[in-house]
Structure 1
Amino acid sequence: MSINLDIRLRKANKIYYEGETISGVIQIACSSEIKHDGVVLSLEGLVNLTISNKNVGIFEALYNSVKPITLLNQQVDLTPSGKLPAGMTQIPFELPLICAKEPKVLYETYHGVFVNITYMLKCEVKRSFLAKSVVKTQQFIIQYCPSSPPEKKTEVSFSISPETLQKTAKERISIPRFLITGVLDSTESCLTQPFTGCLTVHHTEVPIKSIEIQLVRVETCGCAEGYARDATEIQNIQIADGNVCPKIAIPIYMTFPRLFTCPTLITKNFKVEFEVNLVVIFGDDYLVTENFQILLNRTA
C-alpha cells in the first residue's frame, strides 16, 4: 500500500505578497482504499536567529532574543477521519497571509547565515499508531509589494590612494603609490536592478593583479541587553584580471542573488544590512579594500 502526497500551489512561481490568499490543492494518490485519522494543513512563517560560535558564552543576555520569531501560525483540518478511495483525491485550500500579532508584518523571504526568514506549508495525513503518518512540506516566497522608486538617484564618487587608507604615516611610506577613482551610480539599489558604476586606474607603481567587487551581508542578532554582529560574503565578482590600462574606465556591474538578499531590514530583535567592498589586489599580493554601505529596496 502506497500513499503519494503533494501540495500544488495556484501560483507557479510561488511568490506571494502580504494580505494575499495562498491557495492550491492537496493531491493524495493511493494504490488502494486506506483509513486515516484526518488531513491537516499547517501554515508557518518563522524568523530563525542564531549566534555564531565566536559569540556563544559571551552574550548570555541574548538568550531570549534569539528565540524564533513567529510570523504565521495557522492550522486547518481539511477532512475529518475516514477513508480515502483508491486513485487520486484532490482537496482545495485557501489561507490568508496576514500576521495577526507582533511584529504585524511579513518580512521578505531571506536565507542568510545567522538570520533566516522562511515560509512553509505542511500537510499531514494522520494515521493510527500502527501505520506511519504521511507528511509533505512546501516552501513559498513572500515579497514586499514594489514601492515607487526615488525621484533621483545620487551618484557617489570615490578615490583610493595611499593617503585615503587608514594607515599611520610610517605605514604609508611602504605602500606603493597608486591612484584609483570612480563613481557608483547609487548606493540605494533595487533588488531587481543591477548595482552599477565605473572606476579608473590613473597610475600605479606596482602592477595590479585583480580588481573585485564583493557583496557582503551584515547580520545583527540582539536586543537592548547586547547584540552579536557578523559580516559574511555573499558573492565575489572579478571586474578586472591582470594589470589594467591606465585612464580607461572599467565598468562595475553586479546583479543581486535571489533569496540571499532582501530589502535592508532593521527591527528591534535583528538587522539585515548589506555592504559592497571594492578589492584591489596588487602583484605583490598587497590588498586594498574600499567599503560602501548600500541600502537595498524593492521598487517598481
Structure 2
Amino acid sequence: MVLRLVPTDFLTVQAAIDASSSGDSIKILAGKFDGFEVDVDNLKIFGCGIGRTIIEGAPAQGSDDGVVVISDRITLQDFTIQGFPDEGVRINTNFNVLKNIESKLNIGSGIQLIGDNNLIIECSILMNRDDGFNISPGQNNCILKCESNVNDGTGYSFSNVNNKLLLSTAKENIDDGLLINDSFNTIIGNISNKNNARGILVGAGDGNNNIIKNLTCNNSGSGIEIEDGAFVNAIDSNIARNNGTDVTDAGILIEDSAADNTIRFNEAKNNFEFDIEAIPPADTANTFDGNKCGNSSPPGLCT
C-alpha cells in the first residue's frame, strides 16, 4: 500500500490514480485540480477539507462530469467538486463510500448514484442546476446526515428499490424536497423545508415505502403527498406544518386511487387547505389511525 501526494508526487489526481494499485491512498493537498476518473479498485482519495481542496476545471476523462467512479470499494473524502457541465459526481459502481464531500454549482445533479450498496455520509449538495441527489438506477444505497439545498430540481430523487435516506435535510429546492419513484425505500428522520413543491412525494403506483418521523414544513406544495395508485406505504409519526399554498395542497394528501396505505400517529398543523386530506374513495381505502391535526377532509381523519 502506497500513499501518493497531489501535487507533490503527481501534478494531477488522474496521474496519481493511473500510477496506483488496489489498496493505495491518494492525498490531494489544498488547491484547485481538474476532474478525474477512478478506475482502480479499493483506492482511498482524500482532500484537505471542503473549500480547501477543490475539484474544478477540466472534467473527468471521456465525460462532462467532475468525478466518475467506475471501480468498486472507493473512498472519496474531504473535498469540494464544483462547476462541471454535467454531474458533479457519478458513481457507476458498488460498495463505495463518500464522506464530507461538497458538490455544488454543477449543470447536472450534485451526485448521481448508478451503482448499488454505496454509503454517502455527511455530504453537502448545493445550488446544482438539476437534482441534488439522483439515485437512478442505484439500489441498496444509504444516504446519512447529508444536506441537499437550493438545487434547481429535487433535493433527493429515488428511482429504484431498497434505498435509505436517514437524518438528512432538503431545503429550498425548486422542485420536491424528496421524490420516491419506486418501492421498498426507507425514509426516516429527515427534514424537508421551504421547497417550492412537495416536501415528500410518493409517486404513482409505488408501494411498500416507509416514511417515518420526518419533519415537513413551509413547503409550497403538500407536506407529504401519496399519488394515485400508490399502495401499502407506511406514513408514520411524521410532522407536517405550514405546508401548502392553494386548495390542491394539504399537510398530508392522499390521492383518490391510492389504497392500502397506513397513515398513523402523524401530527399536522396550520397547513393549507387541510391538515390531512384523502380524496374519496381514498378515505375508506386506506387506514387512518391516531393522527393529531386541526382539520381534515373528509372530517374524522384526525383524533
Do Structure 1 and Structure 2 share a fold, with TM-score over 0.5?
A: no
TM-score range relative to shorter protein = under 0.3
Whose relative contact order is higher, 1 or 2, with alpha carbons under 8 Å and at least 6 apart? Answer: 1
Which structure: larger Rg?
Answer: 1
